[in-house]
Chain A
Amino acid sequence: MENFFLDNKDVLFHFDTMDLDRIIKLFEDDFKEAQTYPEAPKNIEDAKDSYKRVMEIVGSIAAEYMAPYAAEVDEQGVILENGEVRLAPATSRAWDMLSKAELTGMAMSRKYGGLNMPMTLLTMAGEVLSRADASFLNLGLQQDIGLTLENFGNEDQKQRIIPLLAQGKETSAMILTEPDAGSDLQAVSLKATQAPDGTWRLNGVKRFITNGCGRIGLVLARSEDREGARGLSLFLYHRDKHTKIRRVEEKLGIHGSPTCEMQFDNAPAELVGERGWGLIKYTMWLMNSARLSVASQGVGIAEAAYREAEKYARERIQFGAPIINLPPVFEMLTNMRVSIEAARSLLYETARAVEMKEGLERYSQKHPEQADALKADIKKYTKLAALYTPMAKLFNTEMANKVTYDAIQIHGGTGYMKDFSVERHYRDARITNIYEGTSQLQVVAAIGGVMSGVAASIMDEFENEDWSELPAALIDSVKAMRTKFEKAQLAVREAGNEQYTNFHARRLVEMATDIIISWLMLRDGRHSERKLKAAEIFITLARPRIEAHSTFVLNNHDCYLKNYQTIIEEF
């Protein structure tokens, strides 16, 4: 039986080497639930053993029930019929299988019917499922909605709604975007009005809503008589006749995922948390979680495309030999493989940072007596999560685009045809660096941490480790990359000009990301010779990238800022 978890050596490598011990202790609250729930782990080893078994189930569903039908799902897409969305049969069956496997509440708490599994494992599941069918987004979405309610909803909402999500009885949606509020969610205008009896009603239009046909939704709406973010609140709604699905979009990729336009006509809804915190607190939390999911989706798509490309390169004979022996082909394949592994290392480090923050916060709420002692750690991981999340979303989704692009290139003309799956992977990858915040917005989210010293603190921590067992030249190379980065950083800082900082922000974020990934890969290299070689190739590729960026920044190419209007407008 095929299994997308067990057949992936690199995923298994991360499963075996990642440091989950403290996270498990925090999430299991010192294993108290083992008294109440027979499925709860009794210790760290027990938890890891269970996680591995669960991942095997995920890998088996992905390989057996999803991957073989992904082309069919892509072909069939979704259909809007009498106001209801009809999914491709294989998509519904995959959801049914995940529900029967009781995975639909993977990361939700046991008391609401979930499995209480760390987000790191959810991230891994996301990657494995995306490799099978990138259009299958509901598992991650479901956790994001469930966990947002767990964090910010009231007890009554949690008890009523989360079990429905955990058991997979209903699917869900995060309902944020509007025709005039995409990247700029502060402009959301869907109106929430409160009747004298205290109940809320929603009126307005939402657009580009992934799985908007789901029965449970979290809706960002303007509840206050003021503009901007502070006028927005988050609402929980259970779809009924007051909400119309007006259309489903025809898209370039992820055809199996319904993207809905929805009209709310006096739709009843409940406030989640406090008024005015809808965007700045709750939606930001939800978005960060979704960004991690998309980062994992990118890795999954790239993995699928790489495997196709490698297989084809071995089988395709040209000039009397398999094309994998040709330098341009093996170079492409090597770079694809290394960048997937780079993205994976960043992905799981990001998941760990996010999870440490979440776990510490949860633990400190349950144990107020320890809150003071945990404060410094919470602060640290909050900052790390805030930097790592946009970095991973940016790097991994751009990587997915590049890898799927090269996968077609390796196939040549054949790859452009529908007969092979690489064209689908290429189309599917294209959304990942757009939704849940474009790459450009990830730069905006990350630049603060890159300039303020969070990135430097990560680099310091790595530099202070004992690297004596690894080749000194590699370590020095990464340190030299940092010197180049810091020169550029200083030049931008000294310019003291906001527009100039924004102009160079992407270069700075990319330099910092390359350096941090280099360290992460070297750390992986401590466990395996092959991983060390992968690190060497990554560093070899990253160093000239950083030098180019640094040179560009230092040479002060203000021809852009001075002349862009002339170039664009006087054409």
Chain B
Amino acid sequence: MATVSIPTILRTHTGGEKSVEAQGTTVAEVIDDLDARHSGLRDRLITNGNLHRFVNVYVDDEDVRFAGGLQAPVKDSSTVTILPAVAGGMR
């Protein structure tokens, strides 16, 4: 199973756990499995079938936006890191 690192703002879904496990061969499958184990996580990560623009997901330190998005491959030994984007501004 892959290890998934959970940011502070989503730990309400994991009972406060910083790191949880989930199964899947792609990011999409891992998120489905995460949601099955920790209800509500999918909606915090995916909007209209795409990764939420406020969220960054990395598989083994690579931002999946540049590696196939939700179809990015995940291995059993992978670490999936979820981080909220830090952004904003006057615009």
| Same complex origin of A and B | no
